[in-house]
Structure 1
Amino acid sequence: MEFSRYFLFFFASLGAFNGVLLAAWIYHKRREITGAPWLSLLLLMLSIRIGKSIAFYFSPGLSKDILQLGLSACCLIGPSLFSFCVRNLNPNKNSPILRWHFAVWLLVVVFTGAVYPYHSNLELWQTWIYRGSGYAWFGYLIAASWLYRHKLVALWSRQSTPNWRDLPVVVLGGGWLIWLAYYTAAYTSYIMGALSFSMVLYLSIVVYSGGGRTKEKYAAQTISPQQSHELSTKLTQLFDDELLFTDPGMSLPRLAKRLGVSHTKLSQFLNQHYGCNFNQFINRYRVQHAQSLLLQEQSLTMEHLAELCGFNASSTFYTAFKKYAGQTPSQFRAQQTRKLSS
């Protein structure tokens, strides 16, 4: 094996291996990440599918049992991804429908593999199941993207900035890239699917790791006390009087324009004066507003409440509320109700 093939094998297989490790880590953090079991399952299915692709690319005479395992995992990628996205839209509803939905898929895959094994049904697996699993994956990507259409449109039109708290959006983007790499493999190379998975995985880790460097970036810069006071006064007026934070399309550049400063200066001010970034700052206001509305309007649904407070998605609302209030909106409402009745 020449050097370029060694490098190709190393990069592709390392992505699959790290995918398994990441799946285990995410499952371990399931109390902190909404829909973690589904995301862990998705990564595991992807890693198995990618592992099969790598093995087949470098060893075409691979055992049919391994090929069957890889295609079986591919059939479960779409259901896992869709279940993760649905779970994030309803963090407080652990619906058994999702489990039954996945169980049906799993039962069909296992039954098909047991009754019609790969080694004795080549045409079934190489044609119908191979294509069918790809179409099913594509269908679930369409369905999941439709669920997050408002958030995706906001990102596309630059009314919102990518945020690692919007994990389903990141997962959807990666899912589309990997599926596209497999779909176009006939025009490029079969190994592109594995390489795209490694690229998406490592790029996501790099972006995530770089997210905590904002404070370091502004550590050596300062804003004068007078500038800080002026900005703080304007910002308080816009948020307290005009409730500017309830606009779901509010972004750092738009707020900076209202304040009459550059977005770099505003970002620097938020880090220096409040010790947070724009998303953290605006979400803190939104959660405080949500707490106020929960006390005033007992009939509000959580979805409507999230919309009134400026959140693009219920999952973002639940995550932010739990972070700043230390409990879910439902728990907060129940606690306040008990206090008032006692």
Structure 2
Amino acid sequence: MTDSNQLLFFLSALGAFNGFILSLYFAVNAKKKIFADYFLSLLLLVLSIRIIKSVFFYFNPGLSNVFIQIGLSACVLIGPFLFLYLKSSTGEKQNWAKHVIPYLIAITVLGVFYPYVEHQAFWSCWIVNAIYLQWFIYIILSLKYIRPIVQKIKEKESLKKIDIWFLSIYLGVAFIWLAYTSARYTSYIVGALSFTFILYLIVLLLIFRSRNESTFFEEKEKYKNKEIDAEMLDLIGQKLSIIIEKELYLNPDFSLEEAAKELKVTKHILSQYVNEILGKSFSNLIKEYRIEKAKRLLETEKNFTIESLGYDSGFSSKSTFFTAFKKITGLTPAEYQKSYSI
């Protein structure tokens, strides 16, 4: 093995080994025993099994066919464990068995009656493609739990550390899927190297979060021991009306920083007021102002398209307007307008 190949082997194998260690960490040594930890642990475990198979197969093509079958079979649970991890982290109720047991039974039956050692062509042509398709479907299904984070990015809202964590896990698994499905055009070892890179990114996030003394699923109390005095509460309550009077929210890029500057208060105090006193985020507050404006326009303006009224209300896109309007009012803009034209 040449020096470059030795380095390649070391980097890719080290990632798989560390994946096993992290899997054990989340299963046993996490600070908080939260059920989502176990799905993350299992996700890292099946990824590590898949990666270690790739590493040894790349550097040892004569690898036992049984080991190859185990590595490929592990892929069938990567997508489900990603989905279950993200879903359980939101607190949603779920039936994990229906996302795991059927696939375990199916891959076991295939392994027994159509073992890789005797049906390599069948596995390569059909089973592997079906596994990657199933993996991709779960990546799409998992997008539901990443969409709120993407929305925050679109609206230039600050991300919490936990948001960055979930986004990193999701994109990491998606990138590994892409690396394997495109391996025929690049190199078979790219998937293993991708896992190593993503794993160390996860380790850096782990260290970062540990240094800030917060667990993986709990943000520190943002405003603990920093109460706003009564005089400041009254002042901000009065000043918030400036945003409505001047219709500052009609600017699609209107931000917390700009609001704080306009109201002559610190960004932190304004954020704390909106979060603690009003019980919502700043972006949601601005959405509500825009929806109220849109409702007035929908009631009075009949000669303009609904989409244009959304832009006139401060929304930057049609989809954002329609989604926010339905969420806040329970009606689509068209349904709302129709109710005022009867």
Q: Under a length normalisation based on structure 2, what TM-score does the superposition of the two structures give?
A: 0.64
CA distance in structure 2 between the aligned counterparts of 1:178 and 1:105, rounded to whole angstroms: 20
**Identity over aligned pairs, percent:** 34
Question: 1:165: Cα distance to partner?
Answer: 5.3
Question: 1:151: Cα distance to partner?
Answer: 2.1
Structure 2 counterpart of 1:73, which letter?
Answer: A
Distance 1:20 1:240, change over 3 A: farther
Contact 1:57–1:191 (8 Å) recurs in 2: yes
Contact 1:88–1:168 (8 Å) recurs in 2: no
Q: Rg bigger for which structure?
A: 2
Cα root mean square deviation, aligned: 3.8
Structure 1 counterpart of 2:138, which letter?
Answer: Y
Alignment of 1:3-152 (within 5 A): 3-28=3-28, 29=30, 31-33=32-34, 35-90=36-91, 93=93, 95=94, 97-152=95-150
Question: 1:154: Cα distance to partner?
Answer: 2.0
Q: 1:191 aligns with which of 186, 189, 192?
A: 189
Distance 1:285 1:15, change over 3 A: farther
Distance 1:120 1:146, change over 3 A: same
Query: More deviation in 64-73 or 117-126?
Result: 117-126
Aligned to 2:2: 2
Alignment of 1:213-232 (within 5 A): none
CA distance in structure 2 between the aligned counterparts of 1:311 and 1:90, rounded to whole angstroms: 23
CA distance in structure 2 between the aligned counterparts of 1:311 and 1:107, rounded to whole angstroms: 48
Alignment of 1:156-171 (within 5 A): 156-161=154-159, 163-164=161-162, 167-171=165-169
CA distance in structure 2 between the aligned counterparts of 1:239 and 1:161, rounded to whole angstroms: 26
Question: 1:206: Cα distance to partner?
Answer: 2.0
How many residue pairs match? The answer is 256
Contact 1:235–1:259 (8 Å) recurs in 2: no
Contact 1:68–1:118 (8 Å) recurs in 2: yes
Distance 1:177 1:233, change over 3 A: farther
CA distance in structure 2 between the aligned counterparts of 1:42 and 1:195, rounded to whole angstroms: 17
Contact 2:16–2:49 (8 Å) recurs in 1: yes
Query: More deviation in 123-132 or 53-62?
Result: 123-132
Structure 1 portions without partners, runs of 5+: 216-229, 244-252, 291-307, 313-342
Q: Under a length normalisation based on structure 1, what TM-score does the superposition of the two structures give?
A: 0.64
CA distance in structure 1 between the aligned counterparts of 2:100 and 2:31, rounded to whole angstroms: 19
Distance 1:104 1:239, change over 3 A: farther
Question: 1:236: Cα distance to partner?
Answer: 8.6
Distance 1:55 1:311, change over 3 A: farther
Structure 2 portions without partners, runs of 5+: 214-227, 242-253, 284-342
Contact 1:52–1:67 (8 Å) recurs in 2: yes
Question: 1:18: Cα distance to partner?
Answer: 0.7
Higher RCO, 1 or 2 (CA under 8 Å, sep at least 6)? 1
Structure 2 counterpart of 1:9, which letter?
Answer: F
Aligned to 2:280: 309
Tell me the SS of whatever aligns to 2:58: helix
Distance 1:187 1:213, change over 3 A: same
Structure 1 counterpart of 2:38, which letter?
Answer: P
Query: More deviation in 75-84 or 142-151?
Result: 142-151
